[in-house]
Structure 1
Amino acid sequence: HTIGYGSRYITTECMGGILLLALQSSLGYLLQVIVTQIVFTKLSRPTEKSRFVVFSDNALILPRNKNLTLTFPIGNLSVSQLIFASVRLLMIRERRTIEGEIIPHQIHDMELTHLRNGQLFFPRPFVVEHIINNRSPLYGIQRDTLEKEHFEIIAIIEGIFDYTGFSCHFRTSYLPNELLWGHQFSSCDATLEGFDYKLFNRTKLIYALPNWDYEDEHSDEPTLLNSPASAPNIYQNSRTFTNPIERVQQQNLKRNNSSKRITTNDTIYIEDKLEKTYSL
């Protein structure tokens, strides 16, 4: 008789035990990889930052320095800043060639003013301006035919968060029925804590602006409406917001309900250091 010291182990005669051990090891490694990837993704994609850059609900077309101008504001509600921030403006519309061929979703660049190499200083609300001249894809647009047009204007902001160093990408778009003719935005007042964004989306009709004369753009001055009583068709966007998260949720809901939008929903992406590319 022997005492029988030792331990159990799998022998070559136990094929079922060998298969069970291999399956257990494989599942263990797979679970470890999945958990590691989830933790790494959560740490490398600070999505909470994306809700603090906002665009106005509407873009405006109005005379500015005797030029017909497309304009809209953008705001940064976060305490952190975007460095190397740049803004681009694109238009997507169909194009008809001389031969009669229709090219859908043709992309046109729109020149911006008051920007140096497309860079912007973004610690405060910034107003994007595009002059509608003979180089603009909006050249020839009129008040009477504005809502009958079929195009989409896309605004893109790219930059780097100063705290984390991650690159970011924000996007919104405007349809013809979201362009207001002859209106003006209310200014955001500066406070000790920053800027008051309650009037960020509020507009009012200030010009009795008829169809624009592109042949003689500087011939007549637009008529300024001195008081709301003299403007019977005043449009005033009364939607205000104090909570940045509620503001962006309302904006995303508005974008999702539009069936004529060419681009994807108003989704805000934040890219990690691998510089992943997201298509429009």
Structure 2
Amino acid sequence: MSKKVGAKISKLEEERNRKDSGFGTATTSTRARLILPDGSFNVKRKGQSFSAWLNLYHRMITMPVFEFVLVIALSYFVVNLVFAGMYYWIGIEHLSGIDEQTQFVSPFWGAFFFSSQTLTTVGYGHISPLGSLTNAVAAVEALVGLMMFALITGLVYGRFSTPSPKILFSRNILVSPYLDMNGLMFRMINERNSHLINVKVNVMMSRNEKDETGKLTRKYYNLALERDFIQFFSTSWTVVHPITPDSPFFEETPEKMAASDTEILIAVEGMNDAYSDSVHVRTSYLYNEFVWGRKFVPILSEKGTGYIIDLDKINDSIEASLNS
């Protein structure tokens, strides 16, 4: 085998073994965060098709509750508005009994309220359609109503049935004394009363480095943890990366981290025992969210025959001298 072929194979093996979080190695900025604190990816897509951009089901499932209720209410109002306009265009006289309802409201709003009764299949019976065209519109509206509320029911079920873990992370990641060395530490707590089991955490460090050609590229390093798996996530978990001479964080300083745009990427995976479904949570810490020479204070205390965990103390820490 020639040296040239051997070099190519060596390069290929190096590329295969290269760590990558999925963001690639290209970098155009030294101040671009990869993962936002809420776990969303700091990536914007350009040139999407309309259907891919809309992704209506995903939007409805993941949007905040207030926005979801507002969209449903507006959709209900708009559909009734459209059918009320159709009844009004056909002629109010084709709605039998509407005269009684329109004594206190305008004929259009009388048609609107008849539309709402038809859409929901309530049908109080005070108003009924007359003529083939009006009956046809009412029949179509009844079908639209059945489909609309079936979709809403599915969306509501989807929102309630989808596991929504609420894991709190400490505001900062600390560099603290650990055993006879130092360690990189952050704390997380399961805020909900639901229980997570078989929880695994993966921690990766990302930073900009120059390659052999002098080109600035983004490098990724898996950080070995004191432990990366726990059976029961019932209280809090302080995740620790021991800073040994083999650690890519060894001999790091705040100045070096700022210059290389260092970011710690965290992925948590576990099982929700109530849903028997996997849950996934992400977050990250940027170089300016590191605090050196502090350690977390305990937040678990005993009370009677049980334990109390104080979520308000998740960020509490005290000064601690680092080991040399």
TM-score w.r.t. the length of structure 2 is 0.51
Give percent identity, aligned residues only. 26
String of CA shifts for 1:221-250, please: whole Å, max 9, x gaps: 55xxxxxxxxxxxxxxxxxxxxxxxxxxxx
- Write 1 or 2 for the structure with the bigger share of helix: 2
When residues 147 and 101 of structure 1 are mapped into structure 2, their CA distance, relative to the original with a 3 A threshold, is closer
Give the aligned partner of residue 59 of structure 1.
Answer: 173
- Are residue 87 (structure 1) and residue 197 (structure 2) matched? no
- Are residue 27 (structure 1) and residue 144 (structure 2) matched? yes
Alignment equivalent of 2:224, drawn from 85, 88, 111: 111
When residues 203 and 17 of structure 1 are mapped into structure 2, their CA distance, relative to the original with a 3 A threshold, is closer
Cα deviation for residue 126 of structure 1 reads 1.4
Q: What runs of 5+ residues in structure 1 fail to find an aligned partner?
A: 1-7, 11-15, 210-220, 223-280
String of CA shifts for 1:150-200, please: whole Å, max 9, x gaps: 121122221111122232122221111211111111111313352233432
Give the aligned partner of residue 41 of structure 1.
Answer: 158
Task: Measure the CA separation in 1 of the matches of 2:211 and 2:258.
Answer: 23
Give the aligned partner of residue 308 of structure 2.
Answer: 194
User: Could you tell me which amino acid in structure 2 is paired with residue 74 of structure 1?
Assistant: M
Q: What runs of 5+ residues in structure 2 fail to find an aligned partner?
A: 1-129
Aligned structure 1 segments of 4 or more residues deviating by more than 6 angstroms: 16-19
Give the conservation status (yes or no) of the 8 Å contact 2:177–2:320: no
When residues 91 and 161 of structure 1 are mapped into structure 2, their CA distance, relative to the original with a 3 A threshold, is same
Give the conservation status (yes or no) of the 8 Å contact 2:300–2:307: no
When residues 110 and 34 of structure 1 are mapped into structure 2, their CA distance, relative to the original with a 3 A threshold, is same
Cα deviation for residue 42 of structure 1 reads 2.4
TM-score w.r.t. the length of structure 1 is 0.58
Give the aligned partner of residue 242 of structure 2.
Answer: 131
Give the conservation status (yes or no) of the 8 Å contact 2:177–2:295: no
User: Could you tell me which amino acid in structure 2 is paired with residue 44 of structure 1?
Assistant: S
- Are residue 101 (structure 1) and residue 215 (structure 2) matched? yes
Cα deviation for residue 69 of structure 1 reads 1.2
User: Could you tell me which amino acid in structure 1 is paired with residue 279 of structure 2?
Assistant: C
When residues 23 and 123 of structure 1 are mapped into structure 2, their CA distance, relative to the original with a 3 A threshold, is same
- Are residue 166 (structure 1) and residue 277 (structure 2) matched? yes
Task: Measure the CA separation in 2 of the matches of 1:73 and 1:35.
Answer: 39
When residues 20 and 158 of structure 1 are mapped into structure 2, their CA distance, relative to the original with a 3 A threshold, is same
User: Could you tell me which amino acid in structure 1 is paired with residue 293 of structure 2?
Assistant: G
When residues 103 and 56 of structure 1 are mapped into structure 2, their CA distance, relative to the original with a 3 A threshold, is same
Task: Measure the CA separation in 2 of the matches of 1:40 and 1:109.
Answer: 38
Give the conservation status (yes or no) of the 8 Å contact 1:87–1:120: no
Give the conservation status (yes or no) of the 8 Å contact 1:155–1:171: yes
Task: Tell me the number of residue pairs that the alignment of Structure 1 and Structure 2 aligns.
Answer: 192
Give the conservation status (yes or no) of the 8 Å contact 2:190–2:236: yes
Cα deviation for residue 146 of structure 1 reads 4.5
String of CA shifts for 1:98-147, please: whole Å, max 9, x gaps: 1223334x4322111134xx345321211111122344332330255454
Task: Measure the CA separation in 2 of the matches of 1:22 and 1:135.
Answer: 73
Cα deviation for residue 93 of structure 1 reads 2.3
String of CA shifts for 1:66-96, please: whole Å, max 9, x gaps: 2231012212233332111111112222343
**1:175-190 correspondence runs (5 A):** 175-190=286-301
**1:60-79 correspondence runs (5 A):** 60-79=174-193
Larger Rg: 2
Cα deviation for residue 21 of structure 1 reads 8.4
Give the aligned partner of residue 140 of structure 1.
Answer: 251
**Secondary structure at the residue paired with 2:232?**
coil
Task: Measure the CA separation in 2 of the matches of 1:114 and 1:126.
Answer: 10
User: Could you tell me which amino acid in structure 2 is paired with residue 86 of structure 1?
Assistant: K
Task: Measure the CA separation in 1 of the matches of 2:254 and 2:148.
Answer: 61
Alignment equivalent of 2:268, drawn from 131, 134, 157: 157
Give the conservation status (yes or no) of the 8 Å contact 2:266–2:282: yes
When residues 120 and 55 of structure 1 are mapped into structure 2, their CA distance, relative to the original with a 3 A threshold, is farther
